[in-house]
Amino acid sequence: MSMNVSQVTVTTAAGSNKSLGEYKGNVLLIVNVASRCGFTKQYKALQALEDNYGSKGFKVLGFPCNDFGGQEPGTVDEIKEFCSSTFGAKFEIFSKVHAKGNTTEPYTTLNQSNPPGDVQWNFEKFLIGKDGQILNRFKSNVDPSSTELKQAIEEALNN
C-alpha cells in the first residue's frame, strides 16, 4: 500500500497547524533531527541538498525528536539557533515530535510506509514525491551526500 502525506497536519515551530498538502508539487525529504547525535553533522549535507535542488522544487523538513538517547533536549528556538549557527542549516524546522512508540505526525503516517515500523534512530529520512506519496525510506547512516539518496531525489524531481 502506498502511503500519502498530503492529508497529514503537523505543528510548525511557531506552534500553528500546517498541512503537508501545502507542499504539493515539491519533493520533500522529511528527517527527524537531533542536535547531540553522532549523525548531527548531516545537517550541513541536508542544507547542501536543499541548496542544490531547491530551485527545482525540493525541500528538507526537519522534525526535532528527543526519542533517541535524549539527544534533542532543547526548545525549538534553541534547536533552530544551533542548526543555523553551527551548520548553516536554513531548512524548515518544525515543532518537536515523537517518531517511535506513541508517535506524533508526520511519523504516525510515515512509520506505516514500506518497510513499516517505527523510526530506529535520529536522522532517518523519508523521501516524498510531488504528489505526497512516500517514495522511499533511508536509515540514519545513509548520508545526505550519498549517491543513493541524490539519485532518488533526482528521480523524484523528474517525475
In order of 10, 61, 85, 158, the CA distances from 150 in angstroms are 26, 16, 25, 12
Q: If phi over 0 gives left and psi between -120 and 50 gives alpha, with beta otherwise, what is residue 84?
A: alpha
How many Cα atoms within 13 Å fall on the side-chain side of residue 100?
A: 13
| Strands, E assignment, 14-107 | 17-19, 27-33, 58-64, 92-93
| Active-site annotation holder among 29, 37, 83, 89 | 37
Q: Are 40 and 34 in contact (CB under 8 A)?
A: yes
Identify whether 83 is a catalytic site residue: no
C-alpha cell at 34: 537531533
Residues 6, 23: Cα–Cα separation, whole Å: 8
Amino acid at 65: C
Q: Which positions are annotated as active-site residues? A: 37
